[in-house]
Every structure is written in C-alpha cells, then in structure tokens.
Chains A and B, each alone.
Chain A
Amino acid sequence: MLKDITLGQFFPGDSPVHKLDPRIKLVLTVEFIVMLFAAKSMWGIGVGALFCLISFAMSKVPATLMVKSLKPIIPLILITSVLNLFFIKTGDTLWKWKILRITTEGRDTALFMVARIILLIIGSSLLTYTTSPIDLTDAIEHLLSPLKKIKVPVHELAMMMTIALRFIPTLIEETDKIMNAQKARGSELDTGSFKDKVRGMIPIFIPLFVSSFRRAEELATAMECRCYHGGEGRTRMKQLHTSYLDVIAMIYTTIFFAAIITLNIVIK
C-alpha cells in the first residue's frame, strides 16, 4: 500500500493548462498571487475567483481535488477569521456579548482575508496538479539560472531535488520492509503510549539512515561512471518550448490583472 503513493499531487492530463510551458505556468502563478495581494476590494477578489474558476475548469482537474487542497489549511482559515472578526473594533456594532464585539468592518475584513487565502491555495495547487514534479524542477532550474552568475549552485539544487523525488518511493518501500522485519522480531509499533511509539521508531530509522548513506555512495559512483561532472557543459534531452498557448495564457492573465488594478482605481 505504501508503494502506491503518488509523487507530489500531479494529476496527469491533456488539457491546455497541462500543456503550458512549466516556466510560464510558474511565472503566471506568481503573477496570480501578486494579483490577489493587489486587489483592495471584494470586487477585486471576485475577479481573482473568476480567473481561478475558469483556469480550473480548463484544466479538467476534478473539483473534488480543489476542495481537497483546502483541507490542510482549514485551521488557518478559522484562526484568520476569528482574529479579524473579534479584534477589529472600528465600524458599526453588529453583535455584542460581554467584551466580545463584532463590527461591520470586522466582518468584511474577515470575509476578504478568508477569500484571499482560499484563492491563494486553489491557484497554487492548480500549478502542482497540472505540472509533473520533474517539469517543475526543470522550470525552477531554468528560472533561477541567472543566479549562477552570483555563484548560487542552481544546477546542483535541481539535481538534488530530482534525486530526492526519485528516491522517495524506494525509501518508502525500504521503510515498509524494515517495519515488517522489526514486527517479525516482536517489536510493537502500533501499541503503547506515545512515548513507546516514538521509541519504537528508533529501530526503524537507524537502519533506514544507514542504508540511505550506502545508497548515496553507490549512486555517486554510478553517476560518475556515467560521466557526471556537474552542470557545466550539460545538455538536456527534453527542451522546454513555449507555444501559442503560452502567449494566450499570458494575455489572459494580464487582462485579469488589469481588471483588478482598474477596479482598485474605480472603487475608492
């Protein structure tokens, strides 16, 4: 069962959103985030929501996934709304009980902040749903490559990410094996107090660490055997290409950005 985990949350597909150049997609996602922070009114957020919905619909990623991506941030949403609701004291009073007081402005700000957070998460998870981790790594390597001039090891970082992704399933499988081996020797991993459970993890992690180091050494030798000598003079089989789709996506995003700026100016 541990074997079947997916890497990241990539949802393979054939939609126009999937086909975008990952570099462009990454940049546009950043633009979308900036767009959300630029929006000063609920109308602006509405435009952002429209952008999000259209993009999601085009990606053909199931809506359930959109909802699923929000699950981990429910606590954050709750804290934000409670804080804004009760601690903003300006505006007309709507409701009062002892020292607690909710004002119109508190209510509006709370709604505004929550909407912004939700859109932020949905927008960025659209990127990870429609881009494979490898493409994402490639895009990051490309976009950060100017930093090589100031001696940032961009290629090495990207290589580390690729190898980490490659070894996640291998190490999970190994953990599974070690756990079974320890269970077979009578160690109780699932029972006992929290302290016992933590202590039970030690005989799993130590063999796992030892074997990871051995794997790393073997991998390094194997990479050397295949002429790896750093990023210098390296080519890539898969070249990233921008197409007319990317141009359309850029225009589409810019239109929405412009709409939000216009709304900011109009609604004062």
Chain B
Amino acid sequence: MEFFLDAENVRFSYVNEAEEPPVRTEVLKDVTLRVKKGEFTAVLGHNGSGKSTLAKCFNAINLPDSGTVTVAGLRTDDENNLLPIRKSAGMVFQNPDNQIVATIVEEDVAFALENLGVEPSEIRRRVDEALKTVGMYKYRMHAPHKLSGGQKQRVAIAGILAMNPDCILLDEPTAMLDPRGRKEVMDTIKRLNREQGVTIVLITHYMEEAAQADRIVVIDGGELLLDGTPRKIFSQVETMKNLGLDVPQVTELAWRLRKAGYDIPEDIITEEECAEAIAALLKKGG
C-alpha cells in the first residue's frame, strides 16, 4: 500500500431520474489519480469539470460506476469500510453554513466523535485540541451564526480534525470567504499539512492558493489532463489559458514579458521570484 488515496480508472455518472427516459451525464471518464501520504495536492478545473465529484469518490459519498477507489488500502465499495474511510478522509465543503450541525461551536466539533461513539472525556480532550489547532478555542461557547465566514470554515475544519483524519479533502473551502477569511483558512491548511503531516486535497479556483501546493492536478471534462508541480503546470501558460484557467498574476506577468522579448524565466510562481527576475532584468538593461 504505497498510495494513501488511489483512484483507478474511475468512471462516474449522475442519473437524472426525473427526465423520461432518465438522462445520464458522465462526469468522470476514466480518471486515475494517486496521492501519497502527507502530500498537498491542489485540484484545478472549472465548474462542472468533475473535480468535486472526484473528491466525493474519495470518501465513499459517491461510488464509481466502474474502476476502484481505495483509501488507506480500504475499498470504498465495501460497506463495512464506510466509517473507517470517512474517519480517515474527512471532507470540508464550500458553504460553512450548510455543514455546521449544532448551535454551539464546541458541540459541533464534537459531532463526528459523538457519532463514532467515543468516550465523553476523550471527546472533550480532542475537541479542545482541534479547536486550539485551528485557533478557535476562544470561541468554543459561541453560536456559529455569530462568527465570520473564515471562522465558521475553521470550525468546520476543526470538526473534521477532531476525528484525527490522515487526510482532509477540501471542496472550494475559500470560495465564499473574504480575503482575510481565505488567508486564515489557507494558513490553517498549510500548517496542518506541514506540522501534522495531514494529506491535503484542495479543490480551488484561486491560482495563488494552488501555487502553494506540492502538486497540481488539472481536470477538464471529466478527464485528468495535467499533473505536476505548480512550477511545471503554471509554466504552461498557453495550455492553461486554452483550458479556460488562469495562472497566478506574477506568472502571467512574466509570460507577457517573455512574449514581449524580455529574457525572464518561465517558471515564476511567487511574487518574490518575479520581483527578483525583474530586478535582474533592469540591472542588465541599465
């Protein structure tokens, strides 16, 4: 068992029973994706590309029509594996309002552990720990609707974290947040990955967020198109643009400068690198 998440030749389609005859929409067409333990993978693709569907395959919410998905060596199509899989691969969704169950922050974080039948004293300990990890311990007695979007999303992450998962799947967790909330959530995710070795699969529309991952996977039309380090993916500016996706602003700037005939490296993904490259360029020119 080398890979933590392993999807082999997965096909998945949604069936709309309301239509007559039922309409099948194939969302995933033969996707193979393997993720190593401790890896931080970002998944890019536009709406309807199948990226959320794929994420839901990894914690047995969706079962593939054909192909297999294993999580920590457990097959998702075996019903006995359901709870162990969901325990080790937790999922955080886009809208924090629709995933918080309880009326008090700490009660919500305890929800998953209560479902798993953990001892009350142990629940208490793990809830406090999870809340401290995401920096929400101060707010443990608050009502969720009085928190900001970023805080709510951190509570949702704590709710997953309390289960001590090996992997967290995040489905556009920052899409509904303001810049500050986005930063709070991204910092939390990166810290979990670095300090606790949690495997992260982050679905996102923000290229700056994807640039912080170890690996980027691009999905389009239900197929896995590109797979590689952020540097490798974002240096293919034209390919990305043809797919209707963006690259980080600094990468785009460097690309335009190159096109205009300046000698600037093509694998720039951070602001610092861009600033240095331009400074070097200016020095040479002057």
Residues of B within 8 Å of A165, CB to CB, are 103
Interface string of B132-169 (1 = CB under 8 A from A): 00000000000111000000000000011001000000
Closest Cβ of chain A to B198, distance in Å, is 16
Chain B residues with CB under 8 Å of A233's CB are 117
Q: In the complex, which residues of chain B have a beta carbon less than 8 angstroms from the beta carbon of A193?
A: none
* Central interface residue in B61, B91, B98, by most chain A CB within 10 Å: B98
* CB < 8 Å A-B pair total: 96
Q: Which residues of A contact B144 (CB under 8 A)?
A: 166
Interface stretch, picked from B107-115, B178-186, B201-209, B213-221, is B107-115
Q: Is B115's CB under 8 angstroms from A234's CB?
A: yes
Contact check, A227 vs B118: say whether CB atoms are below 8 A apart: no
| B281 is an interface residue with CB less than 8 A from chain A | no
A1 beta carbon closer than 8 Å to chain B: no
User: In whole angstroms, how far apart are the Cα atoms of A170 and B99 in the complex?
Assistant: 12
A173 at the interface (CB under 8 A from B): yes
Interface contact B112-A227, CB-CB below 8 Å: yes
Residues in A with CB closer than 8 Å to B113 are 235, 237
Given A226-B90, A226-B112, A233-B117, CB of A134 within 8 Å of CB of B163: no
Cα distance A235–B61 when bound, in Å?
24
Closest-by-CB residue of B relative to A228 is: B115
A227 touches B86 (CB 8 A): yes
CA distance A134 to B83 in the complex (A): 27
Q: Which of B8-16, B119-127, B229-237, B242-250 contacts A (4 or more CB under 8 A)?
A: B119-127
Q: Given A227-B87, A237-B127, 16 more contacts at CB 8 Å?
A: A3-B145, A7-B103, A163-B101, A165-B103, A166-B101, A173-B145, A218-B95, A222-B98, A223-B101, A226-B86, A226-B111, A226-B160, A227-B83, A227-B86, A237-B120, A237-B124
Interface pair B93/A166, CB less than 8 Å apart: no
In order of increasing CB-CB distance, the 10 nearest A-B pairs are: A222-B99, A226-B112, A218-B98, A237-B110, A169-B145, A237-B123, A227-B115, A225-B91, A233-B117, A166-B103
B74 within 8 A of A: no
30 contacts between A and B (CB under 8 A): A7-B143, A134-B103, A134-B104, A162-B103, A166-B100, A169-B145, A215-B97, A215-B98, A218-B95, A219-B99, A219-B101, A221-B56, A222-B101, A224-B86, A225-B61, A226-B86, A226-B90, A226-B101, A226-B159, A227-B86, A227-B87, A227-B115, A228-B115, A229-B115, A234-B117, A235-B117, A235-B123, A237-B106, A237-B110, A239-B120
Q: Which of B97, B113, B144 has the most CB of A within 10 A?
A: B97
Residue pair B114, A162 in contact (C-beta under 8 Å):
no
Contact partner of A169 (CB less than 8 A), chosen from B115, B119, B143, is B143
Q: C-beta contact mask, A204-248 vs B, less than 8 Å → 1, else 0?
A: 000000000001001101111111110001111111000000000
B279 CB–A CB distance under 8 Å? no
The 8 Å CB contact of B118, one of A3, A162, A170, A235, is A235
Q: Are B98 and A236 in contact (CB under 8 A)?
A: no
